[in-house]
Amino acid sequence: MLFFLIMFISPSFSSPTTCSTNNDILLSSTRSYPKLQAENLIRGLNLFPKHSINTPENDPHFVHGNIVEKKFTFPGFVDSDPSVEELGHHAGYYRLPHSKAARMFYFFFESRNNKDDPVVIWLTGGPGCSSEIALFYENGPFQFSKENKLSLVWNQYGWDMASNIIFVDQPTGTGFSYTTDDSDVRHDENGVSNDLYDFLQAFFKEHPQFTKNDFYITGESYAGHYIPAFASRVHQGNKA
């Protein structure tokens, strides 16, 4: 059974200190072409909806209700203290079970402090704003370097300093979350909360070591609509 608390915030954060860069997994070594770098990064994470690995008819192993996840390191990031290799940074897709072809994308960053820290799920509002906005500009582990906008530096005020944090692109059609069938697009909080609840069950099945941790639902702006609906759905699931 999950223990959960609800938070609604609109954060502001101070700028982090900068670090030198190390392109140990840089997918493109040409800094002069940021568009090419971005495309290579997306291909490296298998995030292209039209790429064969992400189309239902070409991916027999990606079945409804399953998570496909991989550990990753962002390109252009420094090996510092702590080393990225020592941390659990994950990116994945979840095939929503109550849909025809919808896939929900998420980033998951294990705590830099203690794996027993609370599990936090972050929902950006909009509706329709990607959670990567918060990841890179607000409370995520990284921020863009002031000296080189193609490089990332640690965010000293990132919430992964005190939590195991999940950034979800939701609802379907937001950010890297997508579908090949328009009927999968949600138009109310009930549909959104059901999809998030299904994702949460699959996430904890994939990461059972975190089921004992406290759980927080957080977000900003229009997420003030999502959070109560999602919390209510979790509460209903806990009582079932």
Q: What is the CATH number of the domain that holds 220?
A: 3.40.50.1820
For 195, half-sphere exposure in the C-beta direction (CA atoms, 13 angstrom radius) is 31
Does some domain include residue 208?
yes
Predicted pLDDT at 82: 59
Inside any domain, residue 190: yes
pLDDT given for residue 86 in this prediction? 64
Residue 116, domain extent? 68-239
178 domain-assigned: yes
Angle between helices 223-239 and 189-206 (to 10 degrees): 60
Give domain status of residue 188, yes or no.
yes
Residue 19 placed within a domain: no
pTM of the model: 0.75
The pLDDT value given to residue 17: 31
**Number of domains present in the structure of the chain:** 1
C-alpha 118/C-alpha 229 separation (Å) is 21
Across the chain, which has 240 residues, the per-10-residue mean pLDDT values are: 45 32 35 59 55 50 67 65 68 87 91 93 88 89 77 87 94 86 87 93 94 94 91 90
Residue 62 placed within a domain: no
Which candidate, 151, 164, 148, places its Cα nearest to that of 209?
A: 164
Answer whether residue 198 is part of any domain.
yes
- Is residue 211 in some structural domain? yes
